[in-house]
Structure 1
Amino acid sequence: MDTKQLPTITEQTQEQDIPKAPLSVGLPFFIIVVCLIAYFVYLANQWLQDEQRLPVQQIVFSGELLVLDHEELTDLVLEKAQGSFFALDVNYVHKLMEEQPWVLSASIRKRWPSKLYIHIIEQKAVASWNDDFLINRYGDIFDGKTELTKDKVQVIAKIPQLFGPGGSEKTALTGYTNMQSLLNNSGQKIAQLVLSERFAWQVELESKIVLKLGRQNYINRLQRYIDLYPILMQQEKLVDYVDLRYDTGLAVGWQDSSQIPQTEQDNNNS
């Protein structure tokens, strides 16, 4: 029968005689190691946060910018979002950019080792609103007039002026868009549109002709004017206004009112 060799008494004694580090020595050593690690992490973090060691050296803008200025935006970012490349908060920069009136949307990203890329979609003003604000193509108003310098005024020089009650900017823009689409075939453009408190429409064309359209069926009434437009242009007198607030007819006011103050084709008021 095979027998297993048992460790000798000498071997067992040697294993039992291996000394173990007392707790009073091991614990302080462990604490020192943890403290050293924490200290080096702190130093590394300070180094990464140090703007002088790892600054944002270049801010690259993209997007078609007609009003916004690259240098002004760069100065704004460097002033408001201070810190190193690693410490710079892209969410804060994103919020900072979209707070600017002429910024419709922005996207921000970093690129190692020192570049910040900012893509901006600039607001496009399609109309002026109540002489105070501008309207973009979505019908949203923004306070962009105060941001325009003298050399940028031409950006909004030819946009139409819309007026209306507070909160009606989308309605006014929709009405303007529909009416201008109808007028395009005749080569006429709207210079000013007024939506009254009672939501009655009045339009002034670039030719200074005023169209009184009333509250109802303004598209049909405008079409009535367009149908008559070639005849009006054949007249020797200049048209001052056309009142279309009738079921089937209209009234024309002439600039030379001393000769023919008004010609009515129908008196059925709507």
Structure 2
Amino acid sequence: MTLEHHAPQIPVFERRLGSWQIAVSRDGYGTEQLRAAYDACAPRWDRKIGRLGFPVAYREVVRHAALGLTAEDEAPVKVLDCGVGTGAMSLALAGEMSEAFDLSAVDISPVMLEEASANLRRAGVGCRADLADISALPYASESFDFVMCAHALEHLADPETALADMCRVLKPGGRLLLVTTRKSVFGAFVQLKWRTHRFDAAMVHRQLQHQGLEDLTALQVGSGRWTRFWSTAVVGRKPAIYETGASGDVEHAA
């Protein structure tokens, strides 16, 4: 999980009344605040998300997002989990993949990384775990066949910077899966507690389209009430030809 080094401004309310525009925002957590918060809750995190049904919901999401996922030259599929937390999304993928895959994971919280590494090790899943910011991933361009990010993007002051870097490390033809907190009553509770953005599927679609991804598909996050109304998920594919300018804006994608 990651954040800009300064506290982001999180929009809470915006309304236009004639020539007036009324907007309310809130300071988000700074990097050290967020790291400390997730370090503190990491030992209880599995129990919390388990009660809400997210491990099962994540399996349903990756079942569709990773269907038929393959790598070139019969090599293991290379996967990156951005904001791995305690490893729930990676464990869900391991439960759905019929073949072994090469997993890397990043998080801003060292305690979350320790929990994820232990959980994955117990499940027999090897993992390279790096303490890193998803806005500046420590990997070469076009390194991964599948990039996942669950409930980390909403913490960022500039989500598109992180999306651009996820697309940078994604191989042409590779897939990117985003799961984010959605605009809902449940999402409002999360926003108040964690000072996050909330997204709907249309907003995520626009952001991924801006990055040049194709074949965008919205996925339901499980069948339980909590997970469905708490989260939204979209998967997209990086085109075979993908060029960006110095600013990171997509110049050509085909």
Task: Please indicate the TM-score interval, normalised by the length of the shorter structure.
Answer: under 0.3
Q: What TM-score results when the alignment is normalised by the length of structure 1?
A: 0.21
Q: What TM-score results when the alignment is normalised by the length of structure 2?
A: 0.22
Pair member with larger Rg: 1
Name the one with the larger strand percent: 2
Higher relative contact order (CA 8 A, sep 6+): 2
